[in-house]
Structure 1
Amino acid sequence: MLPKKRPRLVAITGSIASGKSEVCKWLENQGYQVYYADIIAHECLQQDFVKKQLYYRFGKNIFSEDGQIDRAKLAKIVFNNPQKLKFLNSVIHPLVRQKMQKIIDQSDKNLLIFEIPLLFEAGLQSAFDLTVNISVNKQVQQKRLQARDDISPEQQKQRMESQMGNDEKNEKADLVIDNNGSWEQLYNELYKLKLIIEALPRKPIDRLSDL
């Protein structure tokens, strides 16, 4: 019996407020299976041993009354402190990689798509057949972030500076989708992306659990 072929793997990334989640929702509506690293990370935060590590590092104030980690409180702490953000990532990222690899290994799909905001920051691009950056300039990014999250300019700056810059992501990505314009312009780009995905070949890649 021949070994099962792994799914072809696509990673969608982009800076905060770039529109990557909207792109992924569109891909879901086209019938593709999409997984979200942020949702997987949220599931990891529910694990007791993760709660213990974060309690010892950040204290009881990051917890809500029901004993769950309050992600908004945690975000305020780590976005203000690169060392604390590094610690949080060191706890969560290995678990997320393991969970994503398990999804891949157990899937019977021909193609899987993952939305991974910190794809390049975490050095995961070598585990995918295609990496796609949803690209926006700073002006558009700031406008969307303000409208979406209603946060101060200082908080905007902190969140934007906690991630790799858009230009650097564009250089690292296999494919760049421009999302500075209208929805109609974006949809035209997405139909081109769909054609590329449909013809996507498998290539030698790393396992996420090994990175």
Structure 2
Amino acid sequence: MTFSLGLTGSIGMGKSTTAALFLEAGCAVWDADAAVHRLYDKGGAAVAAIQSVYPGAVLDGQVSREALKQIIGKDPKALSMIEAIVHPLVSQDRSKFRSEAKNDILVFDIPLLFETGSDSEMDAVACVMIDAETQKDRVLARETMTVEQFSQILGKQLPIEEKSARSDYVIVTDTVDHARAQVDVILADIKGKMANA
């Protein structure tokens, strides 16, 4: 028996760090963002499909995220077109991971878990969270995003209060040690459920 745990949270809340803690604890982790990178890379499954709709989005045989950002900025319909190509491919990638994983507990790191309805595929959901000020500081410290882009991303995501209310577990990511302690508690709870199943 395997247990599927969805891991979600808004941008800058510490999801990648928390996913690494689950990996460290012996879980298999599937990362939605990494899957998209694979699909956009040279030879990736999304390259030809995106090129047929937006030829300017493909440079040197791979999808350019920067070019996509500009296309989406100019054409309001572009995002849903791109999502219609990419979401089914991401879903296939996730199914492949699920069928090949050897671990008892599978963690699915999906920023838009609730927004895409992927929570229905999970046995439980864990949501990472931190206060809004720390979140903003973390995101802007990366220096890859403007305040405006950050606001746009937040606008596409469910409010963190709703995500955490819909989740089975909430992980506060104020420090790595605190997050690790919470991950350990969650894994002990899941293992208990699996033993009694």
* TM-score, structure 1 normalization: 0.80
Query: Deviation at 1:56?
Result: 4.0
- The 3 A distance-change label for structure 1 pair 79 and 149 is farther
The aligned counterpart of 1:95 is 89
Query: Deviation at 1:79?
Result: 6.4
The aligned counterpart of 1:54 is 50
Structure 2 CA distance for aligned equivalents of residues 80 and 135 of structure 1: 32
Structure 2 CA distance for aligned equivalents of residues 118 and 134 of structure 1: 13
Task: Work out whether residues 47 and 61 of structure 2, in 8 Å CA contact, stay in contact via their aligned partners in 1.
Answer: no
- The 3 A distance-change label for structure 1 pair 48 and 141 is closer
Query: Deviation at 1:13?
Result: 0.9
Amino acid at match of 1:99: D
Q: Secondary structure at the match of 1:31?
A: coil
* Pairing 1:199-210 to 2, within 5 Å after superposition: 199-201=192-194
Q: Secondary structure at the match of 2:63?
A: coil
Structure 2 CA distance for aligned equivalents of residues 71 and 123 of structure 1: 24
Amino acid at match of 2:102: D
Which one of 89, 94, 107 corresponds to residue 101 of structure 2? 107
Structure 2 CA distance for aligned equivalents of residues 51 and 82 of structure 1: 21
* TM-score, structure 2 normalization: 0.85
Greater Cα shift, 46-55 or 20-29: 46-55
Query: Deviation at 1:201?
Result: 3.4
Amino acid at match of 1:24: A
Q: Secondary structure at the match of 1:201?
A: helix
Amino acid at match of 1:16: I
Which one of 5, 12, 23 corresponds to residue 7 of structure 2? 12
The aligned counterpart of 1:206 is none
The aligned counterpart of 2:157 is 163
CA RMSD of aligned residues (A): 2.3
Which one of 140, 143, 153 corresponds to residue 146 of structure 1? 140
The aligned counterpart of 1:205 is none
Number of equivalenced pairs: 194
Amino acid at match of 1:44: L
Gaps of 5+ in 1: 203-211
* Pairing 1:38-77 to 2, within 5 Å after superposition: 38-46=33-41, 50-60=46-56, 62-64=57-59, 66-77=60-71
The aligned counterpart of 1:208 is none
Structure 1 CA distance for aligned equivalents of residues 81 and 51 of structure 2: 12
Amino acid at match of 2:121: A
Greater Cα shift, 48-57 or 102-111: 48-57
Amino acid at match of 1:152: T
- Confirm or deny that 1:196 pairs with 2:189: yes
Structure 1 CA distance for aligned equivalents of residues 154 and 71 of structure 2: 15
- The 3 A distance-change label for structure 1 pair 196 and 159 is same
**Percent identical residues:** 26
The aligned counterpart of 2:22 is 27
The aligned counterpart of 2:178 is 185
Task: Work out whether residues 79 and 85 of structure 1, in 8 Å CA contact, stay in contact via their aligned partners in 2.
Answer: no
Structure 1 CA distance for aligned equivalents of residues 124 and 74 of structure 2: 33
- The 3 A distance-change label for structure 1 pair 76 and 196 is farther
Greater Cα shift, 76-85 or 190-199: 76-85
